[in-house]
Amino acid sequence: MTALRPEFPAAGPMSSAEHTSRLTWQNAPMHLNLSADEVLTTTRSVRKRLDFDRPVEREIVEECLELALQAPTGSNSQGWHWVVIEDAAKKKALADIYKKNFEMYINMPGRVYAEGDMRSAQIGAVRNSAMYLSDNFHKSPLMLIPCIEGRLDNLPSFATASAWGSLLPAVWSFMLALRERGMGSAWTTIHMMNGGEEEAANLLGIPHANISQGGLFPIAYTVGTDFKPAKRLPVSSVLHWDKW
Ligand SMILES: Cc1cc2nc3c(=O)[nH]c(=O)nc-3n(C[C@H](O)[C@H](O)[C@H](O)COP(=O)(O)O)c2cc1C
């Protein structure tokens, strides 16, 4: 793969698409040079620290996608498709679908955890951060809807596991590649509730009868690049050797 090489913009007027996609010495992508383990442990769901004011260059999305497409794909089918949205009106329409569903979701009774479970202590911060994203999603410089060929409704688990397994590792690789370049995203699926997946498909011309969406992802530079490992349940509480 060729590395991105910053260039000075050529003389003459630029369209707004060229303007946001052209790399210059000023906006060339930085590499944080994180170790693999650092990338794996510090790629968070970024919501409040998405930089809505800094445009994201198309070339960086393409570079991250080139890396992401190295992920495994069942039977080497490579049935993934990547819809990146930069049109402001379409971003607003998607954010509206998301927000309508989010307002319903956030008022639904949530899971209750046992006394002392760390997830109870984390709920407030996650809700607060999620509310911020819902209110501001339309400001993302770019949005991404990763898709997989096929409709997966009512299929046996072998088929759904194989289909999602042929998309989601690549999506995560994409997020890791963003992180290494000082960018961030947040995994979201709420836009798909209540027919929202089909509404988004109609908006973007995605053939809903044959294509399944994997989620809706903001893409932005992050405000600062210091992210910490999350507190998770201990491995010992979820690891099973030889039997459940
Ligand atoms: C399948 C899936 C769906 C998710 N859906 C949403 C969502 O719709 N909105 C949102 O704000 N976060 C969503 N999240 C992000 C989780 O809230 C987040 O991963 C979790 O709180 C842990 O935080 P971390 O990713 O920073 O470690 C989703 C994550 C996954 C894996």
pLDDT at 28: 55
Question: Could you report the per-residue pLDDT of 51-99, keeping only the tens digit for each?
Answer: 999 999 999 999 999 999 999 999 999 999 999 999 999 999 999 999 9
pLDDT band at 4 (very low <50, low <70, confident <90, very high): very low
Q: Rounded to the nearest whole angstrom, what is the distance from the C-alpha of residue 187 to the centroid of ligand 1?
A: 5
pLDDT at 80: 98
For 191, which DSSP code?
A: G
Residue 99 Cβ inside 6 Å of ligand 1? The answer reads: no
Asked if residue 69 belongs to a domain, the reply is: yes
Closest protein CA for atom 4 of ligand 1: 188
Residue 45 Cβ inside 6 Å of ligand 1? The answer reads: yes
Structural domains in the chain (count): 1
Asked if residue 149 belongs to a domain, the reply is: yes
Q: Rounded to the nearest whole angstrom, what is the distance from the C-alpha of residue 189 to the centroid of ligand 1?
A: 8
Closest protein CA for atom 9 of ligand 1: 188
Residue 44 Cβ inside 6 Å of ligand 1? The answer reads: yes
Is the pLDDT at 8 greater than 50? The verdict is: no
Residue 233 Cβ inside 6 Å of ligand 1? The answer reads: no
Residue 159 Cβ inside 6 Å of ligand 1? The answer reads: no
pLDDT at 23: 52
Question: Could you report the per-residue pLDDT of 144-192, keeping only the tens digit for each?
Answer: 999 999 999 999 999 999 999 999 999 999 999 999 999 999 999 999 9
What single-letter amino acid sits at 75?
Answer: S
Q: Rounded to the nearest whole angstrom, what is the distance from the C-alpha of residue 45 to the centroid of ligand 1?
A: 6
| CATH number of the domain that residue 96 is part of | 3.40.109.10
Atom of ligand 1 nearest to the CA of 232: 27
pLDDT at 133: 98
pLDDT at 29: 64
pLDDT at 27: 54
- In sequence order, the 6+-apart residues with CB closer than 8 A to the CB of 206 are 83, 145, 147, 200, 213
Gyration radius of the chain's alpha carbons: 19
Task: Scan for tokens 């992210």, then name that residue.
Answer: 227
- Beta strand extents in 25-180 (DSSP E only): 50-51, 80-85, 142-149
Asked if residue 114 belongs to a domain, the reply is: no
Q: Using an 8 Å Cβ cutoff, are 177 and 63 in contact?
A: yes
Give CA–CA dist 91/141, Å, rounded.
9
Residue 187 Cβ inside 6 Å of ligand 1? The answer reads: yes
Q: What's the predicted TM-score (pTM) here?
A: 0.90
Asked if residue 30 belongs to a domain, the reply is: no
Mutational pocket test of ligand 1: of 40, 45, 213, the residue with most ligand atoms within 8 Å of the beta carbon: 45
Atom of ligand 1 nearest to the CA of 133: 11
Asked if residue 234 belongs to a domain, the reply is: no
Asked if residue 125 belongs to a domain, the reply is: no
Asked if residue 73 belongs to a domain, the reply is: yes
Domain range holding 208?
A: 42-107+132-224
pLDDT at 164: 98
Asked if residue 71 belongs to a domain, the reply is: yes
What single-letter amino acid sits at 60?
Answer: I
Q: Rounded to the nearest whole angstrom, what is the distance from the C-alpha of residue 3 to the centroid of ligand 1?
A: 31
pLDDT band at 111 (very low <50, low <70, confident <90, very high): confident
Question: Could you report the per-residue pLDDT of 32-47, keeping only the tens digit for each?
Answer: 999 999 999 999 999 9
Give the percent of the chain with pLDDT over 70: 88
Q: Rounded to the nearest whole angstrom, what is the distance from the C-alpha of residue 126 to the centroid of ligand 1?
A: 9
- In sequence order, the 6+-apart residues with CB closer than 8 A to the CB of 125 are none
